[in-house]
């Protein structure tokens, strides 16, 4: 190999810019750790005249992405463009040109991972993507390598910083959902279209990647059930606190009897659960493994520095492999598709709030509906009197389908005016 490893960087925005800065500013330390100097040979941008913080030698900045990824002098391509195209095509070009590849692109890894991995396997190149999930938190490598001798039974993550900030402000500041969303906006935590965050799409893509790694089998974004945070109310949060819970948007994947269930939804977690203490824009991934038990990885899930730290970590790993003369480790994962549990069969626990008239026989009628569907009740509390009373229940674990059927029947029940709220309960002793 040559005296240095030459990197082409696609994109010089928040993540790309921070990656370029680290490669230049920390060049000496990185060379020492990687075993060989890492040279930023190409930085592909849309507008070459835009002022950059970083002073790069002439000839490095270019607008010709295709030439950069096919350049025989380039060893490694870093994709920090985001989105599907042209990122996807450029990575295939890079791989078929024999380049190692590092990407921070969650959409791409959640939807085109199999094809990219197959191409990289065939070309004998590395494809690393630590930065695609939970930004600066090392999570893919620990799951893939440190837990290689273990079996993951469940992964639960807070993987979207915007919604965690919103829920934290609702919990700690007593704000409504709309007020908290406004505050997230003022902090610059929201996108132009907030739907990707608050409706759970972003978390779904990240969970698809996490679950695929955890179970060595492909879980697609379309395999993940999704419910966002729009319907979480200030009342839900108050009720959660009274019961000793916090409300979080949880991305959870579980495997039982070889079948995987994956979903994103708001959930109540006991305040003593480590995920309940994850505040503001921070992310965390909580892993339950057969031997290691409960493990959590916590940190910043977004932002230039954290994401670029993960990107550069991947670059250093590839360069170490190259310096050691070893073949690419490749990915044995995703070669098979995960068997997805039929959604109605997944176990669930619910917190439910009902408006009922305060009159004889109501509790009996409500309890009867739960019983008919085989859902047993863990705790119940009634508040208010007169015409309007509120019934709060927490169920024991029962199949999702049994809960859905219970809710449907409750809605048609004379004795129930309205189902105010229903939210899953996670992280307790029974699940």
Q: Which spans of this chain sit near a second copy (rule: CB under 8 A)?
A: 18, 22, 26, 29-30, 32-35, 130, 136-138, 141-142, 145-151, 216, 272, 274, 276-279, 282, 284, 289-300, 303, 305-306, 308-313, 315-317, 320-321, 324-327, 329, 332
Give me the least distance between CB of 380 and a second copy, in Å please.
27
1 versus 84: smaller Cβ distance to a second copy: 1
Q: Where do we find the tokens 């070893």?
A: 326
Give me the least distance between CB of 395 and a second copy, in Å please.
26
Q: Positive or negative, the Cα torsion across 409, 414, 418, 419?
A: negative
* Residue 345 CB coordination number (10 Å): 13
From residue 6, give the alpha-carbon distance in Å to each of 35, 72, 138.
14, 10, 24
Q: Which residues pair with 395 in a beta bridge?
A: 377
- Nearest CA to 168 among 269, 83, 260, 280? 280
User: Does the annotation count 271 as an active-site position?
Assistant: no
Residue 353 in 3-state DSSP?
Answer: strand
- Nearest CA to 211 among 202, 223, 199, 200? 223
Read off the DSSP letter of residue 277. Answer: G
188 versus 386: smaller Cβ distance to a second copy: 188
52 versus 300: smaller Cβ distance to a second copy: 300
Q: Where do we find the tokens 């492999």?
A: 321
Give me the least distance between CB of 314 and a second copy, in Å please.
8
What secondary structure does DSSP assign to 134-173, as a single string? STTS--HHIIIIITTTS-EEEEEEE--HHHHHHHHHHHHH
Read off the DSSP letter of residue 341. Answer: P
What secondary structure does DSSP assign to 203-253, as a single string? HHHHHHHHHHHHHTSB--GGGSEE--STT--HHHHHHHHHTTEEEEEEEEE
Give me the least distance between CB of 215 and a second copy, in Å please.
11
330 versus 431: smaller Cβ distance to a second copy: 330
Catalytic one among 70, 99, 106, 206? 206
Residue 69 in 3-state DSSP?
Answer: helix
CA 5/CA 76 separation, integer angstroms = 7
Q: Is residue 130 classed exposed, middle or buried when 0-12, 13-18 and 19+ CB atoms within 10 A define those classes?
A: buried
Q: Is residue 222 classed exposed, middle or buried when 0-12, 13-18 and 19+ CB atoms within 10 A define those classes?
A: exposed
38 versus 392: smaller Cβ distance to a second copy: 38
Give me the least distance between CB of 281 and a second copy, in Å please.
11
Give me the least distance between CB of 141 and a second copy, in Å please.
5
Give me the least distance between CB of 59 and a second copy, in Å please.
24
Angle between helices 27-34 and 14-25 (to 10 degrees): 80
346-356 burial, b for 16+ CB within 10 Å, e for fewer? bbbbbbbbbeb
Number of H helices, E strands in the chain: 15, 19
Give me the least distance between CB of 130 and a second copy, in Å please.
6
* Residue 300 CB coordination number (10 Å): 17
CA 284/CA 275 separation, integer angstroms = 7
Give me the least distance between CB of 288 and a second copy, in Å please.
10
Known catalytic residues are: 206
């Amino acid at each position: 190999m040559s005296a240095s490893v030459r990197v082409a960087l696609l994109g010089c925005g928040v993540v790309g810019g921070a990656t370029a800065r680290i490669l230049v500013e920390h060049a000496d330390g990185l060379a020492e750790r990687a075993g060989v100097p890492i040279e930023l040979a190409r930085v592909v941008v849309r507008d070459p005249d835009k002022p950059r913080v970083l002073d790069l030698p002439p000839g490095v900045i270019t607008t010709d992405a295709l030439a950069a990824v096919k350049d025989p002098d380039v060893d490694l391509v870093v994709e920090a463009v985001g989105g599907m195209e042209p990122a996807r095509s450029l990575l295939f070009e890079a791989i078929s040109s024999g380049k190692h590849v590092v990407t921070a692109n969650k959409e791409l890894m959640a939807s085109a991972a199999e094809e990219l991995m197959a191409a990289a396997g065939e070309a004998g190149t590395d494809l690393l993507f630590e930065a695609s999930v939970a930004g600066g938190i090392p999570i893919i490598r620990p799951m893939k390598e440190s837990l290689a001798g273990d079996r993951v039974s469940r992964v639960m993550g807070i993987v979207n910083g915007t919604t965690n900030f919103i829920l934290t402000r609702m919990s700690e500041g007593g704000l409504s959902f709309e007020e908290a969303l406004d505050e997230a906006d003022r902090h610059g935590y929201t996108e132009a279209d907030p739907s990707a965050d608050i409706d759970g799409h972003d978390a779904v893509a990240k969970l698809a990647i996490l679950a695929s790694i955890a179970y060595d089998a492909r879980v697609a974004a379309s395999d993940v059930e999704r419910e966002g945070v729009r319907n979480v109310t200030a009342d839900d949060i108050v009720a959660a606190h009274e019961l000793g819970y916090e409300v979080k948007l949880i991305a959870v994947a579980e495997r039982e009897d070889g079948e995987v269930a994956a979903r994103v939804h708001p959930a109540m977690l006991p305040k003593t659960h480590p995920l309940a203490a994850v505040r503001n824009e921070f992310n965390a991934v909580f892993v339950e493994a057969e031997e290691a038990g409960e493990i959590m990885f916590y940190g910043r899930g977004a932002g230039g520095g954290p994401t670029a730290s993960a990107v550069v970590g991947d670059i250093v790993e590839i360069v170490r492999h190259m310096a050691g003369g070893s073949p690419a480790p490749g990915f044995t994962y995703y070669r098979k598709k995960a068997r997805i549990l039929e959604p109605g069969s997944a176990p669930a626990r619910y917190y439910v709030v009902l408006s009922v008239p305060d009159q004889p026989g109501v509790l009996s009628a409500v309890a009867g509906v739960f019983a008919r569907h085989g859902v047993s009740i863990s705790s119940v509390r009634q508040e208010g009197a007169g015409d309007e009373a509120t019934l709060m229940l927490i169920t024991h674990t029962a199949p999702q389908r049994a809960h859905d059927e219970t809710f449907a029947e409750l809605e048609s029940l004379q004795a129930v005016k309205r189902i105010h709220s229903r939210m899953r309960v996670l992280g307790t002793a029974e699940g």
